[in-house]
Amino acid sequence: MNPEELKSSVTAAGKLPEHVAIIMDGNGRWARKRGLLRTAGHRAGVKTVKKIVRIAGDIGLKYLTLFTFSTENWKRPKDEVSAIMRLLEQTTKKELSELLENNVRLIATGNIENLPPKKREVLLDAIERTRNNTGLVLNLALSYSGRAEILQAIKNITTDLSSKKISPDDINDELFSSYLQTNGLPDPDLLIRTSGEMRISNFLLWQTAYTELYVTDVLWPDFSEDDFLKAIADYQRRDRRFGMVSPSKK
């Protein structure tokens, strides 16, 4: 199928995932293969981010979450961390008008208070300015850790139990989800990981309980619109049972 045919077939198939999350992996390897610095890989990765955000909006996806920077990533060499933070700032500034034009709402998940003040300011400004957009919700996971998020939720639940704001009987899936940083977002239907690694890497641990996984060997800077549509087409062929039996086999 050519790209246009693939796009029409994905949108016509009906079972579009509501929320796609992506572990964007392989920037470093992409750069090493070309004898370039890792930061060149991240720069190329930003180009892919732009392409994927555009196509996600085009096909009518509601939520796209990108694992942009993990809590563990702070331990990378100082130069690399600074380069990624710089890219985040530059890209957010540069792309704000396109986000507005395309009705994209930017949000962030993670401990963004840990971002350098200037970068945080630029991000919060873009979040504020796109607040009323009604198209694609682009969620950047930044300084994010799934375990830390769960621990923080438990701490907050404990505080609310002590003050009798909630009672132990109130604790269920829905209540727990509402204490997570992703409160208000549906769980991802599809999680894509590039560059072949078969790991969740501390990403959305609670939220991916029934998420369909799709791993491709393609490195993030090489990941194309076509690769994205192929992942969605693969998802559309799957039978999601959520631990139950499919109706046809009952």
Count Cβ neighbours within 10 Å for each residue of 13-37 and write b for 16 or more, e otherwise: eeebbebbbbbbbbbbbbbeeeeee
Q: Residue 58 in contact with residue 135, Cβ under 8 Å?
A: no
What's the length of the chain?
A: 250
Binding of ligand FPP at residue 140 (CB under 6 A)? yes
Cα(59)–Cα(69) distance, integer angstroms: 26
82: number of Cβ within 10 Å: 13
Q: Are 220 and 24 in contact (CB under 8 A)?
A: yes
- Determine whether 227 is an active site residue: no
**Any contact of residue 62 with ligand FPP (CB under 6 A)?**
no
* Residue 216 interacts with ligand FPP (CB under 6 A): yes or no: no
Q: Is 73 a catalytic residue?
A: yes
Find the shortest distance in angstroms from Cβ 232 to ligand FPP. Answer: 20
Binding flags for ligand FPP, 4-43, as an x/- string (CB under 6 A): --------------------xxxxxx------------x-
CB of 26 to ligand FPP, least distance (A): 4
What is the rounded CA–CA span in Å between residue 171 and residue 157? 9
The residue of the chain with the least Cβ separation from ligand FPP equals 28
Q: Which residues contact 114 (CB under 8 A, 6 or more apart)?
A: 74, 143
List the interface residues with ligand FPP, window 84-103 (CB under 6 A). Answer: 84, 87-88, 91
Q: Please tell me the count of residues contacting ligand FPP according to CB under 6 A.
A: 18
Nearer Cβ to ligand FPP, position 88 or 157? 88
Q: Which of 2, 73, 169, 222 is catalytic?
A: 73
Closest to ligand FPP by CB, 27 vs 216, is 27
Q: Which residue has the tokens 């540069």?
A: 94
Amino acid symbol at 230:
K
28 vs 146, which CB is nearer to ligand FPP? Answer: 28
Q: Name the residues that contact ligand FPP, by CB under 6 A.
A: 24-29, 42, 45-46, 49, 66, 68, 73, 84, 87-88, 91, 140
* Active site residues per annotation: 25, 73
